[in-house]
Structure 1
Amino acid sequence: MAKDTEKLIRQLSLISYLMAERRPVTATEIRRDVEGYSGMNEDAFARRFYADRAELESLGIALTVDKPADGIAEQENYSLRPENFHLPAIEFSDAELASLQTALALLDGEFAYAEPLRLALQQISWGRPSPLRAPDQGSVALGLTASAGGHELSQRLAKVETAIFRHKTITFDYYTMQRDEVSHRKVDPYHLLYRDGQFYLLGRSHERDALRVFRLSRIRGKVAYATKAEHDFKRPVDFDPRPYAHRAAWQMGDAEATAEVWISERIAWQIKRHFGRYGRVEPVADGAIVLYTDYAVSRLIAAWVLSLGEHARVLGPPDLVDEVAQRAALVGERHTGTFELAECVGSGPPPAAAEAESNGAGRRETAIRPERFARLVTLASVLIEAGRAGRTLQRDDVIELLQVSEAELREDINVLNVVNFGGGSYVLYAELTDDGEIEVDPEPYSDNFARPARLLPVEAKALIAAIDLIGEHIPEGSLAGAREKIVAALGEDPTEGGLHIASAGGDDSEIAKVVSGAIAGRRLIELEYYKANEDEFSSRTVEPYALTNGLEGWYVASYDPSAEGDGQRHFRLDRIKHVTVLDERFTPRPEVDPAAAVEGWLRTGEVEASRMARLWIAPERARWEREARRVTEELADGAIVVELPFKGLDYLVREVLKGAGESVVLEPADARDAVREAVSRLAPVR
């Protein structure tokens, strides 16, 4: 029998024994009665029992130790309080349970934490219809689901996740974009952050003896443990990941200075609502505002200001004013006359083929597989529930529920058949028949496993991460209420323990709540919408069908009856200035498919009827753009040429202005003219 299996049998039997005895017991009794310990000598038992206690405690299952007055270890008494193993009952409303069902349906298969999420939902919905059998829904569609992205990145994520949980120092080779070099790193991993479609690691770099942020996609090769020790470090008690999740792009690093950015009245509402949290907002004359925001990278704050066109200008500090002016002048200069390219020395790499990921059981391979302990506890509860109800289970249903292969299911059942309370009292006996059924005979004391167990750290983390990823975008019911109840039952917020989901760009939770209610009630909504491409406001009355997300944020998928031709439209939530729910109801149109765009432009950015622009990227910016764009030419001076799909010239102009002088349109010609004209309209420096 494998050592891992022996350990699991010992730990589950220890839990069973302590809960069945319902009294403090001595180490001598544990060694005599608990499966897996009886054959050990005293030294071996002491080591194994200490290690098992420590591992159970790391899983949130803490044994109570009563120490004798004279301090003799052999006379210590051990017990397991029911509340230290069982999850408190959570009274979800029907709407909350429906929203959790929808969350799993949306994320299952592509969420990096999909498997522990399934186990967590099975536990918290105890006694209610299983959220794993959710009805089909079409009111939410996700283009981005926090998947790891490819087999190699999935492996890195899984290794880092385990290292965070076990407090293990890791080593890896890392490509530093700023210095354009690969170097070896040794890191104490503290926390994972998911932001803008990427996973980041927050940890102490031994080379710098300081906290650093590492993007997982820039790790090269394998992630390895630095030592063979059980634990290597303790995370500082004052470590707080939240500031890293709520920073603007220009704030990722040590603050250099504070920018003063004037914003015109036309978009002041939008900047205040979506960027005000990155600094301080003060109103000025004519409805304009000034945003005071710290910045660590001057180029990034300059690029953001330039992308806002004539509606923004930098007031200070002087160095930043000068940089923005110089970059704006450079954009205009490079779009005047003919732009000369260096010699082409090669074509760009072909697009990476999507990996077909499978774990051998015909399913997509997810990045994070839950601890087998969690799977066994969940399986035990499922088997006992069926046995007590006198019904058999279908093998394929259990395989789907736990996302395991048939071989793994057989092995797990064999392990549970050995787990006992001591004295020949077993938890259950289950048998997998030849016709694909599972017959269960629970023992009288199996009630210890007939209640939901506490969520293990990775399960709790997966559950809250899923809620935070989707946010207030499920019309079936609010996830906020469900989140509060789950955190209260757990006794802590799992986001503090290793994974934080940053707020998505292009989002607005208050607008989302209003629109969600209209979708659920099938009511028309009236929008005051800012069309950034044309720099104008429009009023629309539309039928809302679903909330969808994509590369640039969240949208309401809708139908505009007044539009010519196909009336299906997507409106970005952060561009909706006002929304009003009307009394008038609508009947859903069968031709409207809100999820149709998910596999298209929401993920790729290539909208229907797009044109293709060729952009030159300066050598100093080329390595960043390689990660995001389709490279078609490598030039002798280190510059590259990329392709960028666009539908409207205004969108392309904003993207080029965002390039801050390091992006140049080569073609089409009308786009070069549009960029030059946009530069001439930039707000003057004062």
Structure 2
Amino acid sequence: MSVARAERLVNLVLCLLSTRQYLSADRIRGIVPGYADAPSDDAFFRTFERDKTELRELGIPLEVGRNSAFDTVDGYRIARRDYELGDIDLEPDEAAAVALAVRLWDSPELTGAAHGALLKLRAAGVDVDQAAPAVVESKVRTSEPAFGPLLAAVQAGQAVSFDYRRPSPAELRSRTLEPWGVVSWRGRWYVVGHDRDRGAPRCFRLSRVVGEVRKIGKPGQVRRPENIDLLRFVATTGGEPRQSSTVRLWVAAGRGAGLRRRATVVERRDVDGEAGDVLELEVNFPDTAAGWIAGYGADVLVLEPDVLAKSVRERLIAVAEGTS
């Protein structure tokens, strides 16, 4: 189902659920976003018939009737008594999954059209049930401007580029991403995908996206891998799947006791005339390891991999510039 059709069906359900009156097809055409674009009456009625069939196949109780004996055509509505579910008992993990799914409802991109339909209902003199929007309304906010464009890019399967503000060191960098999904973790929104600049999966916090999100290439070119759990991906402190790797460090003699307890000494080596040891250490998240390795200052030098060495060096430079 296309995104436009799905949004039109949701708007239709909200419209018919929010009124106690029967609405004719013509009134629905003027109220529900998505129908006004029909090029002709025949095109509208064909679309409306398909949508009614779709709703019935989904199990939504669509009522047909007339408000009075003076009405000449049938109208439609959804009775809340038949639509609403009874009490449901969910396990904690099931409740968490449902809560995460409904967070999208409070985004301006997904609710603006629905609220517009309700305003048109009231303006047309239709008796609107004030409690109806509460059936689907969520209380979670998505205020980041990048949310809408990134979600649209995910749905379209299209790559994007954007400027991203890194916290340490503080700088603005351009990123090119093949987005797989937008997820919420601990009150923050992230986009997950393949970072073309790094050639690896990465996640980016939406609140750090600066300026416009720019589309790249044609829609349909980006596909999400089947074996990736986006929420688990974001939950890992390194922002990428848990994957053990070996790093090689030089540690000054008599220093870095905490590192030495976790590592294996493979050789003795002098660096710039200072004695020390080369250690091999297994880490699960190299990006996170950069933070605590940098805490040892000049006593530790990262030999491999280059990405970790660069990350530690950037942190040390940021500290030096902040104290100068």
Normalised to the residue count of structure 2, the TM-score between the two structures is 0.43
Greater length-normalized contact order (CA 8 Å, ≥ 6 residues apart): 1
